[in-house]
Amino acid sequence: MTGNTYQDRTDRFAGMLMRQAAWPAAIVLTANVLAPLAASARGAFETLPAAIALSIAAASAVAVLALSALLAFDALLFRLMASHDDEASGGAAVDDMLARMRLKPAPFATRLLDDRMAGTSRLLFKQRAALALFAAALLAAGFWAPR
């Protein structure tokens, strides 16, 4: 992969990750501010199913926020990779940084960009699943709340 193609692809992926980390976190934070107001006004905490659904929503909100933070961190690592001229030096810089931060041991071989993108895409899927669980739990709490 040539330097410009590699850098453009990596930079585009990092930008996409930042957007994908931001909007679910914003939705969860907004809903967490508004949902308790609506739930207490309707008496949602008085029924057991609604309280359980709200507990599930709270747990999945934490998961969405944690995965959004991981995606933002990965986006910054991809930006670091994009600042290097080739894939090998960019991957080595990321591996070195992760080893110095003691987040991962130094690998024997540098992983390819496609492998790194695939791992981050799995994190993105987990974030979306947690966001779907959050939305479903909020809807369930609204369904079981007394009217």
Q: What is the domain range of residue 37?
A: 3-144
Q: What is the pLDDT of residue 40?
A: 60
Dist CA 142 CA 145 (whole Å): 5
Task: Read off the pLDDT of residues 4-26 as tens digits, 9 standing for 90 and up.
Answer: 888 999 999 999 999 999 999 99
Query: For the chain, how many structural domains are there in total?
Result: 1
- Cα gap 3→87, rounded to integer Å: 8
The pLDDT, as a whole number, for residue 38 is 64
Taking only the tens place, the pLDDT of each residue in 27-84 is: 999 988 887 766 665 555 567 787 788 889 999 999 999 999 999 999 999 999 999 9
Return d(Cα 64, Cα 134) in angstroms, integer.
Answer: 8
Q: What's at 31, amino acid-wise?
A: A
